[in-house]
Structure 1
């Protein structure tokens, strides 16, 4: 009789019964995980994996030579090309289309049809940027010719806010 009463109660309150069962299972799982974390490790049972370095090795150690890419101050992020508008006095004050193909918090790599001499400045704005966002000033650091375009490496004159950086991809 008691089993029939229990089954009837469970059927009538199925969501509460399932929720209660899941809650109990989660609590048991968390208690087991907590017990595993509290296990104390006996240091005498640890086996050393390598011999400690000798004084000669420690004195002779030198850090590995860093490549040019490792010396960067900002992490470079590649991604989908983002179309931008570019303006510069070296472009005869015209606004040209270009694409950002590489970006970091330090600057942008831009691909465009016109060459820009290193040392000059560019004004850049993402095509999809809202009207409230202005142009960002970049200093040209390199300009490389490719068969169909020029690859221009730039540095931010002043790092723009994060929300503006995200507009460049």
Structure 2
């Protein structure tokens, strides 16, 4: 058969079986998206994407990729399971910041709260509004209560242990990593 005859047969068949054709095309596009997304995730975190607003930030570059997770203690009193992962950049809003806003990274998360890495120390009991940088405009800030603040000895940042004032919906929790 000639190429033109084959194309005419394909055109006739697809016109007669339109739902199967459309479903097959959609399935192929979804499969292509999943393969490309999987390949992108395997490449890891790109340090050039961790940009901040400050002139010097110890959380960017090589230092942000060298954070070692703390050892889990058997005496851990958390009721929610802790999940670690790639640092997620967030915007912070608190009354104690000079201009009312700051930035940081989520380095540990659970359904009960977040552990944040920031350049500013905040006293326990402080209310902080947090929003993921990559969150859609329809998602607002989430309120956290600072429960602990400690300086990381090896690097110039503070680790804030924060508890959700109200546990946000699952789709908002996923934005924090």
Deviation at residue 91 of structure 1 after TM alignment: 1.4
Alpha-carbon distance between aligned partners in 1 of 2:123 and 2:103, rounded to the nearest angstrom: 17
The Cα offsets for residues 22-45 of structure 1, whole Å up to 9 and x where unpaired, read as xxxxxxxxxxxxxxxxxxxxxxxx
Q: What are structure 2's unaligned runs of at least 5 residues? A: 1-72
Alpha-carbon distance between aligned partners in 2 of 1:68 and 1:140, rounded to the nearest angstrom: 21
Residue 101 (structure 1) aligns with: 107
Alpha-carbon distance between aligned partners in 1 of 2:108 and 2:89, rounded to the nearest angstrom: 12
| TM superposition score normalised by structure 1 | 0.59
Instruction: Assess if the C-alpha contact under 8 Å between 1:87 and 1:93 holds in 2.
Output: no
Kindly report structure 1 stretches of 4+ aligned residues shifted beyond 4 Å.
none
Larger radius of gyration: 1
Deviation at residue 93 of structure 1 after TM alignment: 4.7
Q: CA RMSD in A?
A: 1.3
**Residues 1:149 and 2:157 aligned together:** yes
Residue 134 (structure 2) aligns with: 128
Aligned residues: 103
| TM superposition score normalised by structure 2 | 0.56
Alpha-carbon distance between aligned partners in 2 of 1:143 and 1:117, rounded to the nearest angstrom: 7
Q: What are structure 1's unaligned runs of at least 5 residues? A: 1-65
Alpha-carbon distance between aligned partners in 2 of 1:163 and 1:135, rounded to the nearest angstrom: 13
